[in-house]
Amino acid sequence: MPQSANTPSTPPASPAAPVPRPPAGPLPEAVHRTVEVPGGRIHLVEQGSGPLVLMVHGFPESWYSWRHQLPALAAAGYRAVAIDVRGYGRSSKPRDVAAYRMLAHVADNVAVVRALGEETAIIVGHDWGSPIAANTALLRPDVFTAVALLSVPYAPRGGIRPTEAFARLGGGGEFYINYFQEPGRAEAEIEPGVRDWIAGFYVVASGDAKQDAARPGSAQDHVAHFSVAPGGKLSDRFPEKLPLPLPWLAEADLDFYAGEFERTGLTGGLNRYRNVDRDWEDLAAWDGAPLRQPSLFIGGEHDAPTNWMADAIKAFPHTLPGLSASHILDGCGHWVQQERPEEVNRLLTDWLGSLPGTAA
């Protein structure tokens, strides 16, 4: 693709330096590294050899959200790499809110591929990682040959400023993405009790949240579940008693996530939300652009973004002309690859094996 003022250029390759494994780190066969990127450094975890598959997590997660996919993809003959997105874990955490714009994440992903000595990669994203992956493939099809999106369907840049569109949502309250816009506001809610807040957020968005056993399935219901009442907090929506551990989230898993955010804070992750309007301006040249590479979508029956973006899924024939398949997993919530690891691993490896020139 020809470069433009808004398209990240490819940075020079830099060596991928091994770094010490985090204390009591999982996945003993995996290798932890940091690589240089335009904005500083990206921490990554890799396992296996073969065609490169780059995995990008969402909020509030880390590379650890791909703990089930790393060994599975490695065993299937792929070089599986999961990053800590900038602002998370052991990756750089710029202070400037604008440093978390979409173009910066695209540049990070390109730099990771180059630093690992590769020319091309397949990219997989979940939650915020899904639009990061989609835009990375959109802007740099020369590097990213295929894209898999989990939970959040691809929706091209449209004609309405995002915060204006989100202001129309909320079910009588303030939609959580707008609630996250003001620096410091969500941090004041979360950081006094990081572990409890993260646990509540994971539970309320999961498919097996007990308070949602009879949850209605309309998009409006899912939107309302993530709105903030006037003068309230997002955590007011969390159940009073959390049904932990969940089948997919052990206490040790929660400890790992909480430990990362207790060390780093939540600002880096929240700053991604604070760039939605900036992204809309940056990506004006790609308004309505389809994503043409081979693609895959996996969502959950009870996944809020999958439900409230149902129209985006219906538009896939136009927006994802290279779509191989779209799967909605029965009973699954938002944390797709963690809640249903075996099913997601099978869908991913089957899809990867079908891609021209990338079969392991």
Q: Are 262 and 219 in contact (CB under 8 A)?
A: no
In angstroms, the Cα distances linking 80 to 75, 77, 116, 157, 234 are: 10, 9, 12, 29, 35
How far apart (Å, rounded) are the C-alpha atoms in residues 217 and 224? 12
Could you give the strand order of the β-sheet that contains 17-18, starting from the edge strand earlier in sequence?
17-18, 31-37, 40-47, 79-83, 52-56, 121-126, 144-150, 295-300, 323-329
303 is catalytic: no
Q: Are 316 and 149 in contact (CB under 8 A)?
A: no
- Candidate list 57, 126, 225, 334, residue with the active-site label: 334
Q: Are 27 and 47 in contact (CB under 8 A)?
A: yes
Q: Token digits for 96? A: 């400037």
- Candidate list 127, 212, 253, 279, residue with the active-site label: 127
**Bridge partners, 295 (sequence order):** 147, 323
196 is catalytic: no
Nearest to 267 by CA among 199, 178, 179, 187: 187
How far apart (Å, rounded) are the C-alpha atoms in residues 344 and 162? 30
SS3 for 3?
coil
Q: How many CB atoms lie within 10 A of CB 316?
A: 17
Would you please indicate which residues are annotated as catalytic (active-site) residues? Answer: 127, 334
